[in-house]
């Protein structure tokens, strides 16, 4: 058998070690398989006012009519009025009574069911690694048995005289043992944030091959920006602390979007402005791009009023980043790193316009921000005259606020409707308005009577006139076009806003002129055939334009308004009596009547 006692001892120790090793594995597996008692997350186990609200809003609704007191409590609760402690108890008691009856009817409470003790309930949250029948591990007994077989094979292989390991039995035995060792359940996942940022960087750079094709400065820029972004993320993470994992996850998601956006924009804006962004020896300039990232990330994460995260799409962020980088390239030192100009603008826009955009459609906010940033780039010193310090002095933000507040106001008393402009129409009006403000910031200076700034007054005048249009006579698009025309007209001649009296009416020139047009063409008193022809979008818009042009030429006197009315009346009558009508004829007619009247002809 064994050559010597030493051989025997070595064999025995090896066998013992193998058995010990298998014992250790069995012990480890038993540890893996042990039940864990799983703690439930935090909650209040008692039925509550919220439970009762749900029940009586659903199937329990049928009980409300029968019990006036219950209905009273329900109505109070559902309207959000506070219930006193005793009312809450009463309300919840009602709920528990009716729920018990429902459960009895449904057979959930039978009287003979097993009432579980807390201990029994607790046993339900003792969870094994696997169900009893599904453990992939052999039992300790099987494992030791297997080892004994292995040891046996070892033994027999040293002693081929006793058993032939090449025999069918031996091979089968070995094959079985080897297969157990091949079980492997390894898997893994990379770190969340690192993965997100890495993927974003890889994809963006691959989509923008020009970016890294430039030179070392671009590489350095990407590195600087990425470091900045990570620093911003860390800052926000520290601020959020351990109180809101959802916010942290969103932060990671937004960081990814901002990184993609900046890297994508880098391909165009940054490379077009190399002297601003790619000065490798000037760290402050390198950090400019970071300041855009920070401004946008802060805006999204710190906002507490508008839920901005829901308003910004990837495209909106791209547009905003592009606009911000363009603006920065014009005024790098003033809007850049230390002065935080971009951040100030964006925060101010969000804060100032919050209530108006909530009313008009919050999703337009990213576009409003883009427009304001772009227009700022045209002439920042003019539109932000206090040296880029106080964002409340930014004229374009003030102008946007004035415009949007007027558009968001409910119809004035007695009006049947108010033109509801679409998102695109509002943005269109805003763009034209801001263009006019950039050309002439005087728009925002208060009028002599101290009531409104010119801009607010202009928009209000246009809307007041449009409110007099009976519902459904003109489209929102026409209304938008009229407002734009009014703004253009007033930008040329401020005296459109002068107050005058014509007959019994008193108001601003622009207001009275528009009212005349509305009354003659769109009111219920207007001839139906005329209305049919003149209320068409392009025709009505042309009439407004022609009338305002003509007033500009003839002056803003009460007489002009009266003559205008006369010209409109004449034109409308001709059309009503079956005469020909066209824009050129209308221009001639208005010119003739108004010039004739003014000249005393």
Query: 155: which 2 tokens?
Result: 């033994």
Q: How far is the CB of 84 from another protein (least distance, A)?
A: 12
Please tell me whether residue 104 binds another protein under the rule CB under 8 A. no
284 near another protein (CB under 8 A): no
| Total binding residues toward another protein, as defined by CB under 8 A | 96
Token pair belonging to 365? 């906010």
Whole-number minimum distance, CB 235 to another protein, in Å? 15
Binding track over 355-374 against another protein, x by CB under 8 A: ---x----------------
Which member of 87, 90, 102, 452 binds another protein (CB under 8 A)?
102
| Closer by beta carbon to another protein, 192 or else 592 | 192
CB of 91 to another protein, least distance (A): 10
Q: Virtual CA dihedral for 580, 581, 585, 591, nearest 10 degrees?
A: 120
Identified binder of another protein from the candidate list 69, 72, 97, 125, rule CB under 8 A: 125
DSSP-assigned letter for residue 503: T
Which residue in the set 70, 94, 99, 534 belongs to the binding site for another protein (CB under 8 A)?
99
Q: How many CA atoms lie within 13 A of 380 on its CB side?
A: 21
Nearer to another protein, 85 or 449 (CB): 85
Per CB under 8 A, contacts with another protein among 190-209 are 190-192
- Candidates 53-61, 260-268, 282-290, 565-573; binding stretch for another protein (CB under 8 A): 53-61
> How many residues belong to the chain?
601
Q: Which lies closer to another protein via its Cβ, residue 131 or residue 580?
A: 131
Helix, strand, or coil here: 502?
strand
User: In angstroms, rounded to a whole number, what is the distance separating the alpha carbons of residues 499 and 452?
Assistant: 13
State which residue, 302 or 537, has the beta carbon closest to another protein. 302
CA distances from 181 to 17, 132, 147, 174, 185 (A): 17, 22, 12, 11, 12
Region 248-267 residues binding another protein, contact defined as CB under 8 A: 249
Q: How far is the CB of 227 from another protein (least distance, A)?
A: 21
- Interaction of residue 129 with another protein, rule CB under 8 A: yes
User: By CB under 8 A, what part of segment 1-30 binds another protein?
Assistant: 5, 8-9, 12-17, 19-21, 23-25, 27-29
With CB under 8 A as the contact rule, the residue among 4, 66, 243, 599 that binds another protein is 243
Nearest-angstrom CA–CA distance, 74 and 57: 9
When asked if residue 122 is in the footprint of another protein (CB under 8 A), the reply is: yes
Nearer to another protein (CB atom), residue 128 or residue 439: 128
Collapsing DSSP to helix, strand or coil, 359 comes out as: helix
Least distance to another protein, CB of residue 348, Å: 21
Among positions 3, 4, 6, 134, the unique one binding another protein when judged by CB under 8 A: 134
- Taking the C-alpha atoms of residue 466 and residue 393, their distance in angstroms, rounded to an integer, is 31
User: Is 424 in a helix, a strand, or coil?
Assistant: helix
Chain residues 534-573 in contact with another protein, contact rule CB under 8 A: none
**Is 95 or 443 the residue whose CB approaches another protein more closely?**
95
Dmax (CA) of the chain = 143
Cβ of residue 515: shortest distance to another protein, in angstroms?
35
d(CA 235, CA 256): 16
What string of H, E and C letters represents the secondary structure of 285-352?
HHCHHHHHHHHHHHHHHHCCCCCHHHCCCHHHHHHHHHHHHHHHHHCHHHHCCCCCHHHHHHHHHHHH
Element counts in the chain: helices (H) and strands (E): 29, 4
Site for another protein in 30-49 (CB under 8 A): 31-32, 34-49
Name the β-bridge partners of 126.
Answer: 37
Contact between 307 and another protein per CB under 8 A: yes
State the Cα–Cα distance between residues 583 and 563, nearest whole angstrom. Answer: 18
What are the structure tokens assigned to 357, written together? 């955009």
Tokens of 577: 């009596």
Instruction: Provide the minimum distance between the beta carbon of 10 and another protein in the complex, in angstroms, as a whole number.
Output: 9
Q: What is the DSSP string of 203-247?
A: HHHHH-HHHHHS-HHHHHHHHHHHHHHHHHHHHHHHHHTTS-HHH
CA 139 to mean position of chain CA atoms: 55
* 185 in contact with another protein (CB under 8 A): yes
Using CB under 8 A, which of 181, 304, 504, 525 touches another protein?
304
Instruction: Work out how close the CB of 279 gets to another protein at its nearest, in angstroms, rounded to a whole number.
Output: 38
Q: Which one, 190 or 387, has the nearer CB to another protein?
A: 190
**Nearest CB to another protein, comparing residues 50 and 579:** 50
Which listed residue (64, 96, 408, 453) binds another protein by CB under 8 A?
96
């Amino acid at each position: 058998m064994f050559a010597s006692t030493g051989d025997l001892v070595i064999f025995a120790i090896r066998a013992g070690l193998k058995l010990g090793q298998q014992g250790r594995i069995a012990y480890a597996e038993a540890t893996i398989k042990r039940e864990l008692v799983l703690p439930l997350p935090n909650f209040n186990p008692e039925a509550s006012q919220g439970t009762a609200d749900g029940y009586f809003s659903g199937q329990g609704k049928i009980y409300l009519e029968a019990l006036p007191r219950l209905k009273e409590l329900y109505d109070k609760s559902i309207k959000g009025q506070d219930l006193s402690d005793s009312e809450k108890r009463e309300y919840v008691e009602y709920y528990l009574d009716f729920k018990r009856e429902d459960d009895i009817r449904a057979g959930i409470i039978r009287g003979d069911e097993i009432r579980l003790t807390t201990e029994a309930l607790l046993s339900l949250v003792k969870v094994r690694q696997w169900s009893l029948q599904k453990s992939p591990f052999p039992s300790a007994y099987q494992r030791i048995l297997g080892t004994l077989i292995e040891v046996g094979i070892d033994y027999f292989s040293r002693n081929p005289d006793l058993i032939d390991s090449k025999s069918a039995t031996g091979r089968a035995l070995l094959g079985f043992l080897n297969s157990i060792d091949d079980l492997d359940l390894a898997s893994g996942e990379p770190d969340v944030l690192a993965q997100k940022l890495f993927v974003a960087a890889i994809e963006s750079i691959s989509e923008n091959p020009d970016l890294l094709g430039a030179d070392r400065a671009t590489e350095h820029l990407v590195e600087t920006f990425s470091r900045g972004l990570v620093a911003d993320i860390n800052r926000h993470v520290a601020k959020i602390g351990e109180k809101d994992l959802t916010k942290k996850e969103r932060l990671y998601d937004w960081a990814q979007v901002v990184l993609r956006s900046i890297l994508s924009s880098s391909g165009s804006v940054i490379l077009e402005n190399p002297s601003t962004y790619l000065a490798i020896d000037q760290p402050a300039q390198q950090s400019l791009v970071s300041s855009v990232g920070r401004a946008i990330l802060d805006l999204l994460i710190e906002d507490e009023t508008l839920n901005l995260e829901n308003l910004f799409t990837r495209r909106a962020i791209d547009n905003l980043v592009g606009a911000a980088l363009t603006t920065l390239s014009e005024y790098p030192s003033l809007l850049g790193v230390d002065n935080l100009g971009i951040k100030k603008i964006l925060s101010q826009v969000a804060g100032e316009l919050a209530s108006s955009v909530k009313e008009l459609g919050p999703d337009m906010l990213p576009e409003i921000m883009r427009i304001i940033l772009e227009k700022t780039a045209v002439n920042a010193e003019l539109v932000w005259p206090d040296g880029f310090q106080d964002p409340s002095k930014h004229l374009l933000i003030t102008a946007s606020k004035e415009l949007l507040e007027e558009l968001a106001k409910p119809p004035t008393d007695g009006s049947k409707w108010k033109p509801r402009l679409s998102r695109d129409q509002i943005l269109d009006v805003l763009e034209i308005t801001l263009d006019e403000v950039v050309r002439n910031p005087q728009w925002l200076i208060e009028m002599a009577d101290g009531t409104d700034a010119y801009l607010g007054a202009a928009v209000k005048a246009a809307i007041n006139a449009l409110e007099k249009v009976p519902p459904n006579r003109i489209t929102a698009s026409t209304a938008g076009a009229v407002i734009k025309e009014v703004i253009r007209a007033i930008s040329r001649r401020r005296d459109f806003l002068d107050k005058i009296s014509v007959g019994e009416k008193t108001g601003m020139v622009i207001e009275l002129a528009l009212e005349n047009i509305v009354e003659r063409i769109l009111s219920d008193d207007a001839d139906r055939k005329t209305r049919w022809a003149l209320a068409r979008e392009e025709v009505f818009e042309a009439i407004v334009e022609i009338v305002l042009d003509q007033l500009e030429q003839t002056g803003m006197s009460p007489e002009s308004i009266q003559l205008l009315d006369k010209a409109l009346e004449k034109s409308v009558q001709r059309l009503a009596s079956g005469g020909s009508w066209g824009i050129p004829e209308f221009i001639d007619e208005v010119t003739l009547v108004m010039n004739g009247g003014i000249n005393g002809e």
